Amino acid sequence: MHEYGFWSIVPPVVAIALAIRTKQVYVSLFAGIWLGWVIINKGNILEGTFDALQGLVDTFKSDGNTKTVMFTLLVGALIAFIQRSGGVGGFVLRVNTIMERLDEKSPGKNRIFIQLLAGLTGILIFVETNISILTVGTLYRPIFDRLKISREKLAYICDSTSSPTSILIPFNAWGAFIMGLLAAQHFDQPLNALFSAYVFNFYPMIALLIVVIVITKGKDIGPMKRAEQRVLEEGKLMAEGSRPMIPEDVLVMHPDDKTLLKARNMIVPIGSMVLLMPFMLIYTGWDSSADPEAPWFSLVFQAIGNGSGSSAVLYSVFGALLIAFLMYWISSTLKPAEMMELSLKGMSGMLNMALLMVFAFAIGNLCSELQTGAYVAEISRNWLSPGLVPTIIFITSSFIAFSTGTSWGTFAIMIAIAVPMSQSFGSNVYLAVAAALGGGVFGDHCSPISDTTIISSMASASDHIDHVRTQLPYALISGVVTIILYLILGFTIG
């Protein structure tokens, strides 16, 4: 069944290890892609090289991949718009006023307040992870810079509030997708099953708790502690030699002297993007609703579950750009010709990010070709005893998500294995489902080829590998505590 056996896990592990060790993300990812295709071609280096290049081209055969790349480019245009229009400057002034009032009542609490506000924003926008990350990064990056909070800390808050919240609140595309997987495993009431599993979904709960503790208690550890000390003592937002995912010339597009600084020039486009997201999910999924005679709220929920996430985020950011264009034109803030020039400049600044997404998609496709996830899941069965079922499922899900960079793909593989496996061992099936879901999010948090990890680096203008390194200790703490809980529950409630 698994033609490549152990070799199926070598390319992604090599790519990730090289990226973390050398910080040369593009070279490392291509090395993994090239090695994988050489393995597929049974050691033929020439054919493997040609197929590796074709693998990069083939990423655009997927509508979802192409739409995600387009979304990335349009985000650059949106960031350029809100910078040049004075929206960012106006938002900073508005928040500064609030912080001055806060400082009068509670001196020294501004850093905690703004970090908690950023985390709360990420939690409230639970409808889609990429929109949540982009909103938090764009809104709060200038405030974090002013308060000398590291870009790595902002990326961590973006990343560690978006996915955990999306997996814990089922009223979004994540919840609907998982319910579809549970329905395929013959659960008559998948929503009830999902809620029963959420009681045991410890990783996202612990991850969110740690975010709150880190912010309120200042308990930075490891690389994050060094990053925060660097900013406070040296004033450097990033480490020496690090490069932000967004070029500085896009981030510092200051308005001219005649432009008034207005917070609404930032809040309206960003807010419209957030509000458009659920409507776009409903629009793209409405025709797929299974029962047209069901109550309207049931139809809406079905539509959100059947909607296309990649289409919805693309339509939402395009809608936000269009609203911003009309808003700035009518108010004479910017001229049409200037906005077209800004769009091109903003998109050009995102080419590095778009290229990274293409490489990540290519290595994901390679893992599908090598059957990496299926191989890891298959060999894990040999380690099992009834009490170890949830722990092994969690670890296996983590490794699959880490090596493939996709939590959703991990859910699809592991729920199909976890449910029958727990039933055959007589284990608690909801505990097994929770372990599969939590492991997918954990592995995704640790992986440098995960799309949410990449977009968190982009939205915060952080160096990507620096983000991975600084987030990893917190994710590992959450993962270790989760494993201990699954070991205890595995041998007590089964």
Residue range 96-124: mean pLDDT, rounded: 78
Axis crossing angle, helix 296-306 with helix 173-184, rounded to the nearest 10 = 90
Distance CA 462, CA 472 (A): 15
Residue 151: per-residue pLDDT = 92
Instruction: Give a three-class secondary structure readout of the chain.
Output: CCCCHHHHCHHHHHHHHHHHHHCCHHHHHHHHHHHHHHHHCCCCHHHHHHHHHHHHHHHHHCHHHHHHHHHHHHHHHHHHHHHHCCHHHHHHHHHHHHHHHHHHHCCCCHHHHHHHHHHHHHHHCCCCHHHHHHHHHHHHHHHHHHCCCCHHHHHHHHHHHHHHHHHHCCCCHHHHHHHHHHHHCCCCCHHHHHHHHHCCCHHHHHHHHHHHHHHHHCCCCHHHHHHHHHHHHHCCCCCCCCCCCCCHHHHCCCCCCCCCCCCHHHHHHHHHHHHHHHHHHHHHHHHHCCCCCCCHHHHHHHHHHHCCHHHHHHHHHHHHHHHHHHHHHHCCCCCHHHHHHHHHHHHHCCHHHHHHHHHHHHHHHHHHHHCHHHHHHHHHHHHCCHHHHHHHHHHHHHHHHHHHCCHHHHHHHHHHHHHHHHHHHCCCHHHHHHHHHHHHHHHHHHCCCCHHHHHHHHHHCCCHHHHHHHHHHHHHHHHHHHHHHHHHHHHHCC
Distance CA 460, CA 246 (A): 9
Provide the 8-state DSSP code for 238. S
Residue 2: per-residue pLDDT = 59
pLDDT band of 54, cuts 50, 70, 90: very high
Name the percent of the chain lying above pLDDT 70. Answer: 87
Residue range 278-291: mean pLDDT, rounded: 75
| Tens-place pLDDT, residues 203-220 | 999 999 999 999 998 889
Distance CA 153, CA 156 (A): 5
Provide the 8-state DSSP code for 385. -
Contact at 8 Å (CB) between 97 and 362?
no
| Tens-place pLDDT, residues 409-460 | 778 777 877 887 777 777 788 998 999 999 999 998 988 888 888 889 988 8
Q: Which among 254, 252, 226 has a CA at the least distance from the CA of 150?
A: 226
pLDDT band of 150, cuts 50, 70, 90: very high
Distance CA 400, CA 493 (A): 26
Burial class (CB in 10 A: 0-12, 13-18, 19+), 148: middle
Q: Which helix (H) or strand (E) holds 24?
A: none
Residue 143: per-residue pLDDT = 86
Q: Comparing 253 with 9, which gets the higher pLDDT?
A: 9
The overall average pLDDT reported for the chain is 83
Residue type, 310: S
Residues shown for the chain = 494
Can you say how many angstroms the Cα of residue 211 is from the centroid of all Cα atoms in its chain? 16
| Tens-place pLDDT, residues 373-399 | 677 667 766 666 677 888 988 998 898
pTM, full prediction = 0.76
pLDDT band of 115, cuts 50, 70, 90: very high
Least confident window among 50-64, 79-93, 242-256, 475-489: 242-256
Helix, strand, coil percentages (3-state) for the chain, rounded to 5, are 80, 0, 20
